[in-house]
Amino acid sequence: MTDPDRTDRAADRPSSDLMKRETAVEKARQKTAALALEFGKAWEYAPAPETPDHVKLEERYQLFIGGKWMPPKSGKYFDTVSPSTEQTLAQVAEGNAEDVDRAVKAARHAYDKYWGKMRGAERAKYVFRIARALQEKARELAIVETMDGGKPIKESRDVDIPLASAHFFYNAGWADKLDYAFHGRKVRPLGVAGQVIPWNFPLLMAAWKIAPAIACGNTVVLKPAETTPLTALLLAQIIEEAELPPGVVNIVTGAGETGAALVGHPDVNKVAFTGSTDVGKKIQRAIAGSGKRLTLELGGKAANIVFADAPLDQAVEGIVGGIYFNQGHVCCAGSRLLVEESVHDIVVRKLKDRMATLRLGDPLDKNTDVGAINSRAQLERIKELVLSGEREGAERFSAPCELPSKGFWFPPTFFTNASQSCRIAREEIFGPVLTIMTFRTPDEAIEKANNTMYGLSAGIWTDKGSKIFHVATRLQAGVIWANTYNKFDPSSPFGGYKESGFGREGGRQGLAAYLEVQ
């Protein structure tokens, strides 16, 4: 456990302050060694599964177009599979270009006939209805989200669904206050919004997209991700039950081609996309010159910076939450840990201890911390990148947990001794894999943190307030969590710098994406 290199280096240093600190660190290390957690079998919990009994999924879902459930023109359906059991949950319609066209026409009709003209105060009440219905159906939605996507029930129950409802509630209140939102500048809706969302937070992303769009008076065609379409379809049922005018929200399920047809449709005024940077660039290229408004929320490779003066136990909680929350399927995941060199060993030690307590397994179990990887394809990508990390000489540690025999699983993992040039330090893994690197000065931390094409988020852990602001102003990232991580709120703008995309979602700033502000 004692690093001989470190001892040598410390001895060479003339600074007595440094020596003192090294001694303190050494003492702390010995103390934590003495307190090393021994779990054995003591912390095994009895299963506490959330029962899916009252959730009734249909065998087959149609497209939701113009307020009606319509079979796809393609006649084709695809399976949506539970990644934790590999069981087929339901069949979902595969919308083609013709279906997209029908949906855009329905949205245009709804915009011209009802929604674009409706008083904001009236629109607001429809949006509030959706928020309330999401709360009423929260349990069902959480279960379906977990079954379809593989995320732990405690996350879908405590984060995804409440936040989705909160986004509708928050934006509903804006609908009749848009005249005040931009210092009295005149605003008007854009028209029809085509929205394409990812599989990591299926219902929450639908809420991020639909709520501000319709609150601002636009109508919507939304394409959910092909591996997680179910909660968006349940949301369509809620919208139907809330009696929104037909065509205000249309849901067209399908894969990449369906999405391409949607963003490429000539009668779409606004495109909003959340997903990979590669696809984001394709969309930006495809709609160049069309005059369509665009917002992109793309990938990330966030640096989580831990200074030696940070409250380390809290930092470790933040590191774990930052990267292992939702199996690391988070665009703002703190996937690069930058630790001040003097506390590297102690942080790694504490991290290993904490990871030993993470429970991986049945996502429907209320005690589960780490669920299933969303799809086989994503699992393969994670494995491939982890293999590249090993090949490039980084040192791998994976939490000691048993993986279920069925489904797609990957243990919480981190790499030490990684260099900035490693693929695991540069590419978005989108899985529970952390790359740990060190720094000696704040400048070095900032430089390393910014050494990426991404700029979505970052974390700063220190007890010194002035250092937080010093570092925060120099980090090229859209969201900075200081002494916390992965916090979201509908009132708080979210979105990236650089190749993490442009535009913001949430807050007053998020409205601008759906309005023409004169």
Partner 1 sequence: MAGEKKTATSVTGRDDDGTTLPGSAGLPRGGPIARHADSEAPAPRVTVNKAYKMYVGGAFVRSESGRYFQVRGSAVGHDTDPPTVNVPRASRKDVRDAVLVAHNAKVSWAARTPFNRGQILYRLAEVLESRSSELEASLVRGGTDADDAAAEVDASIDRAVFYAGMADKVSALVATHNPVSGPHFGFSIPEPMGVIGVIAPEKPTLLGLLSTVLPVVTTGNTAVALASELDPRTAILFCECLATSDFPGGVINVLTGHPFEVAPIMAKHREVTGIDAWLSDAELRTQVERLGADSVKRAKTHAPRDLEFWLGERQGQGIGWVEPFLETKTVWHPVGL
- The correct pick among 410, 439, 481, 514 for binding partner 1 (CB under 8 A) is 481
| 3-class secondary structure, 33 | helix
* Number of chain positions touching partner 1 (CB under 8 A): 44
**Residue 517 binds partner 1 (CB under 8 A):** yes
Considering only residues 296 to 325 of the shown chain, the ones binding partner 1 according to CB under 8 A are 296, 298
- The correct pick among 494, 511, 514, 515 for binding partner 1 (CB under 8 A) is 494
Shortest Cβ distance from residue 422 to partner 1 (Å)?
22
Give the C-alpha separation, 479 to 473, whole Å: 11
- The correct pick among 277, 375, 378, 413 for binding partner 1 (CB under 8 A) is 277
CB neighbour burial string for 249-276, b if at least 16 within 10 angstroms, e if fewer: bbbbbbeeebbbbbbbbeebbbbbbbbe
Which is nearer to partner 1, 240 or 317 (by Cβ)?
317
- The correct pick among 61, 111, 408, 502 for binding partner 1 (CB under 8 A) is 502
Give the C-alpha separation, 272 to 478, whole Å: 17
Q: Closest by alpha carbon to 372, among 498, 165, 509, 200?
A: 200
**Residue 138 binds partner 1 (CB under 8 A):** no
Shortest Cβ distance from residue 165 to partner 1 (Å)?
11
Residue with tokens 């986004």, as numbered in its chain: 167
**Residue 468 binds partner 1 (CB under 8 A):** yes
Give the C-alpha separation, 124 to 278, whole Å: 36
Which is nearer to partner 1, 14 or 291 (by Cβ)?
291
Considering only residues 279 to 298 of the shown chain, the ones binding partner 1 according to CB under 8 A are 280-282, 284-285, 288-289, 296, 298
Shortest Cβ distance from residue 9 to partner 1 (Å)?
32
Catalytic pick from 331, 332, 340, 499? 331
**Residue 480 binds partner 1 (CB under 8 A):** yes
**Residue 499 binds partner 1 (CB under 8 A):** yes
Name residues whose C-beta falls within 8 Å of residue 229's C-beta, 6 or more positions apart in sequence.
61, 80, 92, 148, 202, 253
Give the C-alpha separation, 262 to 279, whole Å: 14
- The correct pick among 54, 183, 184, 405 for binding partner 1 (CB under 8 A) is 183
Query: Of the ranges 28-36, 194-202, 246-254, 501-509, which one interacts with partner 1 (CB under 8 A)?
Result: 501-509
Catalytic pick from 94, 145, 297, 499? 297
Give the C-alpha separation, 460 to 446, whole Å: 10
Which is nearer to partner 1, 264 or 493 (by Cβ)?
493
Give the C-alpha separation, 480 to 476, whole Å: 9
Is 297 one of the annotated active-site residues of the chain? yes
Name residues whose C-beta falls within 8 Å of residue 66's C-beta, 6 or more positions apart in sequence.
102, 103, 106, 109, 110, 246, 247, 250
Shortest Cβ distance from residue 278 to partner 1 (Å)?
11
In 198-285, the DSSP E strands lie at 219-223, 249-251, 270-274
Give the C-alpha separation, 310 to 163, whole Å: 29
Give the C-alpha separation, 518 to 505, whole Å: 20
Which is nearer to partner 1, 146 or 295 (by Cβ)?
295
Would you please indicate which residues are annotated as catalytic (active-site) residues? Answer: 297, 331
Positions that interact with partner 1 (CB under 8 A)? 166, 183, 185, 277, 280-282, 284-285, 288-289, 296, 298, 468, 472-473, 477-484, 487, 489, 491-495, 497-502, 504, 507-509, 512, 517-518
